[in-house]
Chain A
Amino acid sequence: MFVDRENTMGGRLMQLLSKRKRLTNLKQPINKKVKKGAVYYLKKDFILYLFLLPPIIYYLVFHYGPMYGVVIAFKDYNIFKGVFASAWVGFDVFREVFKMPEFYRALRNTISLNMLGLVIGFPAPIILAIVINELPHQKFKKFAQLIVYLPHFLSFVIIGGMALQIFSPTTGLINDLIVSRGGTAIPFLIEKYHWVATYIGISLWHGTGWGTIIYLAAITGVNGELYEAAEIDGAGRIRKIWHITLPGIKSTVVILLILHMGKMMSISFDAPYILGNSFVSDFSDVISTFVYRVGLGSSRFNIATAVGLFQSLIGIILLVTTNFIAEKLGEDGIW
């Protein structure tokens, strides 16, 4: 009857980064300062290196092979001369981009939207996952799980049309209701600040359900015995969540947070492009839409590459920094 919680989906899945101190015992038990040569290790773990061979080849061919393309950011790229024969212009492209006020606007908007997204959108799946997990009936729980990630499947082109129908200033459903009751219409999509709120709201709607998958898995991995012990100690539902569930999934949260921070400089293209418009372009133009307009719109591949390089650099710095902070705080990082 006793369901071994550790062996359910999440149990396995998401003791993702639970700190099992017993791991450290397995590290080099005898610290002989004998330097072993490469051949020794090769022989010992030959199979493992063999496993790694196809993936390494893959990375070399498909990722490092084309990587010479980053050089486009430093060239006056002529598509017929190709990457290597095009003229070298050093940092001119970067200078050109950094001189554009539009770039800084896009940068500011990207960071702001991402930060807002982080503060609101990162906890949201966690909270929803906890709520769903606490649901009393199994069937309802499964149903909720299924429905809640439906929005993830709609592409933003479709969502854009729906957003208009719901949020338009005069003909939108919501404003229609408000105005007919005698109120003033809310400019969801045409006023800058309202737009940001609407955008975040829609993004939340789109991604939260899908995000619960991994957390729900993590939650089911928390040891059931802990809950029972807490019950005996007189803990209510909320206390149980606070003291057992949350700490139980802490390591999962940390890893996902680190990875999320590494993406702070990038932003998807579809959502801001589809939902944005001329009224709110001050806030809705982000790096992805900027590159689309300025880089690809004028066939200026070198601008697109330069901005991409800039994003990557910042992104990896953020990732490493967050990982470092996490490890310093005692959590397991991604390395």
Chain B
Amino acid sequence: MISKQFRCLGVFVSLSLMMTSMAGCSNKNKEEAVPTSSSKPVELTVEVFDRGVQGNAPVDNNYLTKWVNEEFGKKNNITVKYVPVLRADESTKIGILMASDAAPDICTTNVSSIVQNFVNQGGIAELDTYIDKYGPNIRSYIGETALNYGIMNGKQFYIPGKRIFRGIVSSNIRKDWLDKLGLPIPTTTDELYKTLKQFKEKDPGKVGNKLIPFDMSAQNMQMGDYSLIDSFKEKMTEEQLATTPLLSQPGVKEGYRFINKLYNEGLINKEFALDKDSKKFQANIANGYSGFYMANVGDTYAVSPEVVSTLIKNIPTAEMAPLDPFSNAEGKHPKMISSPTGLSNFIPASSKHIVEAVKYLNWQCDPKVLMTLQNGIEGTQYELKDGLPSPKTGDFEKVSNGDYCLVVNGREMGNYDKTLKAQSLQFVGFEDLYMKATKFATTDGVPGVYMEPNSVAAKYKGIQDGKSLDIKIKAITASPKDFDKVYDSLVNDYMTNSGGNETMAEAVKIYQRMYGKK
């Protein structure tokens, strides 16, 4: 009797299952007929990051969104609607939106592998013809070099924004401590090492046991990869550089041995690996415990979080100075710099408004438009000083301007120097330091090798990212005599069990396809 009931139930349930799933299925395929030329404005949806910054105006409804609709929307019979996506969850959310046919017309991300994954699955629109017809400014403003990064399999699948400042890492040191010890600013790795040791022995800041000569956090440890480690890399062919995982590249192990040495001699803070969000790192600097650190260019000089400004408030005689210490055997200071691209902007293939989307991006490629997009309304958010926009303080609507400006990364002013100066105005009180740091960040810059997306790498990305971080931390914190054992075995494990070898093999294939066998 019971089995009969269960059978009935089973039939009933599977029937409803089938019905509802078909409903879900068919909904996905239902095409909404949108009138192409009618008096009703076309709605264009644009993704915008929501960073949840306190005090900012709502991300989808503020002076800037209104201005965009006035200047661009009305004149083109388009209503621009902004779709907020939480910055912290962007990749998952955009994936779900894509899978449900609910993604905005213009999607944007900092992580190009996300787009590449989508392109590989076949859901992103090809933009070549649209750019030719509706986006002439895009080509002229963004330029072929940057645009090329958006080409996959010979077709333009996404429009990268232009990046003006390609420097990534800036090193900083407590100049007042140097002065007290009568030391010059270090310009070689050896000098830096000796200086750090002096910091530890002499404690010029009279900080006691809280002293941290070289401050790091688990989060910003990768800054070391882009400068410190680069100075240890030995000569290798371009193919090797492009295809070998970082930890296996010649010379990198010695770089980590050096960091390991620093750690074991007490020059690096023992707990850096626990600091996953850099809160302790920032606090250390602000309290005057740190002698030397690396960070994303300009980060610590920014208005928020106020790190160096708090330091100076606490210790008025403190002085932070940017420097370029990591030198290689040839006396150069190689460091990785970003590709000349900013945000990756892409359009789902199922979008009905590709034309409007390209028009929107095209409209942004105009210095006049960018001026407002990046700085706000003149007189309210900023005022002109020497022809450069200087941010005002006051009680007006604030937004995260950079998130609306999709075509360029950096305060475009026409030429590099002017742009640098304009950008530095954001770092109130530290304009000069910022400019210096930016200059250092691109000295002897080594651009990455341009490679087409590696689908094997995409498959292993999650595992490999976590594993690399693990290996680095374990290698740095091992005892000096265990270093080789730890490093070698973990890297071996990475290559064999975490897809390292497979990723490399695929990368070699891609490289040879692109650049020919060398």
Contact = CB atoms under 8 A, between A and B. Distances in A.
Interface residues of B, number: 48
A293 to B, nearest CB: 4
A295 B20 contact: no
Contacts of B121: 78-81
Interface in A133-191: 160-161, 164, 168-171, 189-190
A13 interface: no
B465 A61 contact: no
A3 B380 CA distance: 70
Interface in B463-509: 463, 465-466, 469-470, 472-474, 477, 497-498
B25 A189 contact: no
Given A168-B271, A170-B271, A277-B276, A67 B459 contact: no
Contacts of B313: none
Q: Mostly helix, strand, loop or mixed at chain B's interface?
A: helix
B272 to A, nearest CB: 10
A298 B460 contact: yes
A169 B270 contact: yes
The residue in A61, A168, A189, A277 that gathers the most chain B C-beta atoms within 10 A of its C-beta is A277
B21 interface: yes
A310 interface: no
Nearest to B28: A82
A133 B115 CA distance: 58
A101 interface: yes
Contacts of A61: 20
Contacts of B279: 161
A183 to B, nearest CB: 15
Contact of A65 (B24, B210, B270, B474): B24
A297 B462 contact: yes
A54 interface: no
A79 B273 contact: no
B122 A60 contact: no
Contact of B462 (A82, A164, A190, A296): A296
B369 interface: no
A226 to B, nearest CB: 39
The interface size bin for chain A is 35 or more
Interface stretch (B77-85, B92-100, B250-258): B92-100
Given A170-B271, A298-B461, A60 B20 contact: yes
Nearest to A61: B20
Contact of B271 (A65, A67, A169, A293): A169
B273 A278 contact: yes
A296 B17 CA distance: 26
Contact of A64 (B20, B218, B473): B20
Contacts of B145: none
B17 A68 contact: yes
B181 interface: no
A275 to B, nearest CB: 10
Interface string A100-130: 1110000000000000000000000000000
B117 interface: yes
B17 A278 contact: no
B114 interface: yes
A118 to B, nearest CB: 28
A168 B274 contact: yes
B458 A298 contact: yes
B91 A299 contact: yes
A173 to B, nearest CB: 13
A150 B344 CA distance: 44
B273 A279 contact: yes
A55 interface: no
A236 interface: no
Contacts of A300: 459, 462
A301 B497 CA distance: 21
The residue in A65, A79, A100, A292 that gathers the most chain B C-beta atoms within 10 A of its C-beta is A79
Contact of B463 (A102, A160, A189, A277): A102
Given A60-B16, A64-B16, A170 B270 contact: yes
B349 interface: yes
B280 interface: yes
B13 interface: yes
B280 A279 contact: no
A294 interface: yes
A193 interface: no
B271 A278 contact: no
Interface string A72-97: 00000011111010000000000000
Contacts of B463: 100, 102, 293-294, 297-298
Given A79-B98, A80-B121, A278-B273, A298 B459 contact: yes
A285 B349 CA distance: 38
A278 B470 contact: yes
A77 B448 CA distance: 32
A66 interface: yes
A281 interface: yes
The residue in B25, B99, B462 that gathers the most chain A C-beta atoms within 10 A of its C-beta is B462
B353 to A, nearest CB: 18
A79 B459 contact: no
A67 B17 contact: yes
Nearest to A170: B270
A160 B279 CA distance: 12
Given A278-B472, A279-B273, 15 more contacts: A67-B17, A68-B17, A78-B122, A79-B98, A100-B497, A101-B497, A160-B276, A168-B274, A277-B274, A277-B473, A278-B470, A296-B462, A297-B465, A297-B466, A298-B461
24 contacts: A61-B20, A64-B13, A65-B16, A66-B20, A67-B17, A68-B17, A79-B98, A80-B98, A80-B118, A82-B25, A82-B99, A84-B25, A169-B270, A190-B271, A277-B218, A279-B273, A279-B473, A279-B474, A293-B466, A294-B463, A295-B462, A297-B461, A298-B462, A299-B114
Interface of A: 60-61, 64-68, 78-82, 84, 100-102, 160-161, 164, 168-171, 189-190, 277-279, 281, 292-301
7 smallest CB-CB distances across A and B, nearest first, come from A297-B462, A80-B123, A65-B20, A79-B99, A278-B473, A293-B462, A68-B21
